[in-house]
Amino acid sequence: MTDLLLKVLAQNLDQIDELDGPPYPGGWVDDEPLTLYWGVVPATYWIAGTVDDLSTTPTDTPPNQWIPAAIAAPFSHETSLFAGVDPLTPGSSSAGFIEIIDPLGDLDWIDDLGWDDATIHLLTGDAVAGVDSLAVSAVLTGAGPPDCEGGTKRLNLRELGWQLKQAPLHDLRYAGTGGWEGDAGLANVVRLIVFGTVFNITPKLLSPRC
């Protein structure tokens, strides 16, 4: 029998220390003192499965943790970088959320986890053989705290487009060693790259010498 289990790598917000730091130079801002947040290393938590209630073994990480069969339905998703053949169209993803059934509130403790940007693993396989034997089916990213209503918890997920928005298109840089690598003033400067025909651009001067 194939099981689907949900594992998350996240910080426990209850373990984040809040320290009152010194006031800003010149006094407090808007009468509010400076607060320092001392974070903790993210830990592994098993949240829920789809088939039967089970527990991790004493040698698993974390050990002896109960895993309820609470995932609402088998999870499926599809992601595309861009639609059709046009790279200018935005990407899409059907992975919007994972729903967990929790009418008795046994999983209320997951509200204390930092879900925003948490790493979420969906694993498949035979959980009876041990959670360490499961294969990774998907690696997703959390988007804010769970929505809780009517005995269900909805874990919101980020679509993959956010990675493209915050990451550079490339990291090719001039070496500053002369010639096509530019002079010393261009060392470590990101190279200009053009695809197709473009207008009104300002090219980089590789060397001031004629």
Q: Are 125 and 183 in the same domain?
A: no
- Say what percent of the chain tops pLDDT 70: 70
**pLDDT reported for residue 13:** 78
Q: What pLDDT sits at residue 136?
A: 87
Residue 176 confidence (pLDDT) above 80: yes
Per DSSP, helices labelled H in 80-185 are 161-166
Long-range contacts (CB closer than 8 Å, 24 or more residues apart) made by 157-164 = 157/95, 157/96, 157/97, 157/98, 157/120, 158/117, 159/79, 159/91, 159/92, 159/93, 159/95, 159/96, 160/79, 160/81, 160/91, 160/93, 161/90, 161/91, 161/93, 164/91
Backbone torsions φ then ψ of 66, nearest 5 degrees:
-75, 135
Unique residue bearing structure tokens 């929505």: 147
Same domain, 98 and 113: yes
Residue 137 has pLDDT above 60, yes or no: yes
Looking at the fold, whether 56 and 73 belong to one and the same domain comes out as yes
Residues 22, 45: one domain? yes
Q: Provide the residue range defining the domain that includes 161.
A: 3-166
Clarify whether residues 145 and 172 are in a common domain. no
Does residue 26 carry a pLDDT above 70? no
Q: Give residue-wise pLDDT tens across range 152-164.
A: 898 888 765 555 5
How many CB atoms neighbour CB 60 within 10 A? 15
Separation of alpha carbons 129 and 119, rounded Å: 24
Q: Does one domain contain both 9 and 98?
A: yes
What integer pLDDT is reported at residue 132 of this predicted model? Answer: 77
pLDDT band at residue 39, thresholds of 50, 70 and 90? low
Query: What is the count of structural domains for the chain?
Result: 2
Same domain, 209 and 192: yes
**Whether residue 59 is found in the same domain as residue 72:** yes
pLDDT of residue 157: 84
Classified as helix, coil or strand, 154 is strand
148 with 112: CB under 8 angstroms? no
Evaluate whether 181 touches 207 at the Cβ level (below 8 Å): no
pLDDT in tens, 97-127: 888 998 888 899 988 888 888 899 988 888 7
Q: Is the pTM of this model over 0.75?
A: no
Q: Which residues of 166-194 are buried (b: 16+ CB within 10 A; e: fewer)?
A: eeeeeeeebeeeeeebbbeebeeeeeeee
Highest mean pLDDT pick, 32-46, 72-86, 163-177: 163-177
- Quick one: average pLDDT of 33-43? 66
For residue 8, the model assigns a pLDDT of: 92
Instruction: Render pLDDT for 42-79 as a digit per residue (tens, 0 to 9).
Output: 888 989 888 777 888 888 878 888 888 888 865 655 65
